């Protein structure tokens, strides 16, 4: 297909409750949406970058800038465009994986709508629903944490992930284990908050039989993760460190992880995410789909990805109401701890015009 133009749309959604991690507290979510348009179809993508460069070096404003100035014009010069051709066309521009992922997703959605093919089928999904976990932020007190976990378990979530940081790790984990028992699938996420000097302290989590500890050290410290993995009984999972299939292969070879969290936005798109899935499957490394507080646009694509065979652990593909009172699409609703995989062409859904307009901060049309 030939693109006629791309719309960049910034929206802002209030969260149902503040969400605190080791890199800060969020009360709302600023999201950059990408709508790619050809002569007879449009497709949607969601940029997962945050408003500030805290989780990663990318943030919303830089993504909009690089899309506007470089990435979208580059695709405009491609005469016979398909989703597979997006990454090669954008390869001359270093980094900016989250921006590239959003643009590729929009092209992929448009292409699959034209072909009448659901994203899940295109990626190689084998399930029609996926089990869901939930990420629980850092709380002001252990009693508040226990109340939150109880609520999510009552709602049917199949796995609990606790955000941790120095000073909020062993005691909250112990409290959750004592309250909800050893059968609860439980894991923790450090978001790079520790150093290798904390290895002995992190080993205090071993008795709690966690599924994994996610990204304990800085994202570039693969050797440190490998050393830490040799000292912990708890499996080490990498998140921020995994930026491509090549980096996943390197981490596995070094022994830096035994589990991988795949976030499509972080790795440059859903096609690269599938390659990481395949690399991990070839090495018997389980994977799961992480979340970035996506709207229904990004959630639909993540659920499709999580239906691939190597995703053997529940992901952070929570229901819409985990973060938002009103989503910009028809909401994803938890049923028996699972979300259904969309069946329609492409993403299988689109934004609801009124809901989208209500939260829109600004739009920009880039004609090609």
pLDDT of residue 35: 98
Name the segment(s) of the chain with CATH classification 3.30.390.10. 3-116+349-367
Sign of CA dihedral 299, 300, 305, 311: positive
pLDDT of residue 79: 86
For domain 121-340, the CATH superfamily is Enolase-like C-terminal domain (3.20.20.120)
In order, the DSSP letters of 194-257 are --GGGHHHHGGGGGG--S-EE--S-TT-HHHHHHHHHH-SSPEEESTT--SHHHHHHHHHHT--
Model confidence, pTM: 0.95
CA 78 and chain centroid, separation: 29
pLDDT of residue 274: 98
Name the segment(s) of the chain with CATH classification 3.20.20.120. 121-340
List Cα–Cα distances, 363 to 7, 63, 148, 366, in angstroms: 7, 14, 36, 10
In order, the DSSP letters of 149-207 are HHHHHHHT-SEEEEE-BTTBSHHHHHHHHHHH-TTS-EEEE-TT---GGGHHHHGGGGG
How far apart CA 316 and CA 331 sit, in angstroms, is 16
pLDDT tens, residue by residue, 283-295? 999 999 999 999 9
Q: What are phi and psi of 16, to 5 degrees?
A: -65, -25
How far apart CA 344 and CA 156 sit, in angstroms, is 26
pLDDT of residue 24: 83
pLDDT tens, residue by residue, 137-157? 999 999 999 999 999 999 999
pLDDT of residue 63: 98
pLDDT of residue 22: 84
Whether the CB-CB separation of 313 and 280 falls below 8 Å is answered with no
Cβ-count burial of 143 within 10 angstroms (0-12 exposed, 13-18 middle, 19+ buried)?
exposed
pLDDT of residue 6: 98
In 3D space, the residue among 65, 46, 49 whose CA is nearest the CA of residue 57 turns out to be: 49
How far apart CA 359 and CA 14 sit, in angstroms, is 9
pLDDT of residue 23: 80
pLDDT tens, residue by residue, 52-104? 998 899 999 999 999 999 999 999 999 899 999 999 999 999 999 999 999 99
How far apart CA 205 and CA 227 sit, in angstroms, is 17
User: For the chain, which ranges sit under pLDDT 50?
Assistant: none
- Looking at domain 3-116+349-367, its CATH architecture is 2-Layer Sandwich (3.30)
pLDDT tens, residue by residue, 122-133? 999 999 999 999
Whether the CB-CB separation of 4 and 41 falls below 8 Å is answered with no
Known catalytic residues are 163, 263
In 3D space, the residue among 266, 309, 305, 271 whose CA is nearest the CA of residue 289 turns out to be: 305
Task: Please give the sequence-ordered ranges of beta strands (E in DSSP) within the chain, or none if there are none.
Answer: 3-21, 24-38, 42-47, 129-131, 133-136, 159-163, 186-189, 213-214, 236-238, 259-262, 287-289, 338-340, 360-367
Give the other-Cβ count within 10 Å of 168's Cβ. Answer: 18
How far apart CA 33 and CA 11 sit, in angstroms, is 8
CA 86 and chain centroid, separation: 20
């Amino acid at each position: 297909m030939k693109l006629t133009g791309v719309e960049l749309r910034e929206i802002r959604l209030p969260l149902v409750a503040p969400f605190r991690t080791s890199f800060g507290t969020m009360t709302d979510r600023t999201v950059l949406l990408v709508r790619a348009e050809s002569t007879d179809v449009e497709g949607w993508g969601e940029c997962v970058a945050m408003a500030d460069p805290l989780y990663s070096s990318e943030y919303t404003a830089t993504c909009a800038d690089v899309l506007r100035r470089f990435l979208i014009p580059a695709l405009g010069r491609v005469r016979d465009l398909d989703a597979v051709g997006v990454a090669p066309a954008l390869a001359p521009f270093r980094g900016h994986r989250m921006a590239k992922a959003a643009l590729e997703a929009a092209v992929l959605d448009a292409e699959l709508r034209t072909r009448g093919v659901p994203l899940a089928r295109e990626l190689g999904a084998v399930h029609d629903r996926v089990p869901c976990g939930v990420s629980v932020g850092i709380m002001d007190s252990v009693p508040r944490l226990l109340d939150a976990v109880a609520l999510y378990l009552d709602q049917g979530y199949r796995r609990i992930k606790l955000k941790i940081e120095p000073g909020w790790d062993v005691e909250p984990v112990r409290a959750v284990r004592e309250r909800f028992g050893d059968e609860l699938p439980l894991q923790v996420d450090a978001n790079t908050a520790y150093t290798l000097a904390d290895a002995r302290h992190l080993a205090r989590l071993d008795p709690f039989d966690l599924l994994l500890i996610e990204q304990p050290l800085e994202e570039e410290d693969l050797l440190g993760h490998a050393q830490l993995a040799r000292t912990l009984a708890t499996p080490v999972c990498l998140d921020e460190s995994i930026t491509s299939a090549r980096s996943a292969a390197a981490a596995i070879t070094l022994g830096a992880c035994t589990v991988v969290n795949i976030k499509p936005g972080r790795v440059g798109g859903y096609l690269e995410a599938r390659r990481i899935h395949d690399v991990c499957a070839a090495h018997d490394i389980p994977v799961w789909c992480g979340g970035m507080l996506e709207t229904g646009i990004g959630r639909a694509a993540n659920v499709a990805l999580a239906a691939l065979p190597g995703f053997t652990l529940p992901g952070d593909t929570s229901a819409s109401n985990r973060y938002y009172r009103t989503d910009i699409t028809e909401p994803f609703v938890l049923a028996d701890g699972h979300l259904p995989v969309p069946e329609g062409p492409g993403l299988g859904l689109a934004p609801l015009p009124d809901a989208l307009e209500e939260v829109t901060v600004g739009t920009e049309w880039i004609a090609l």
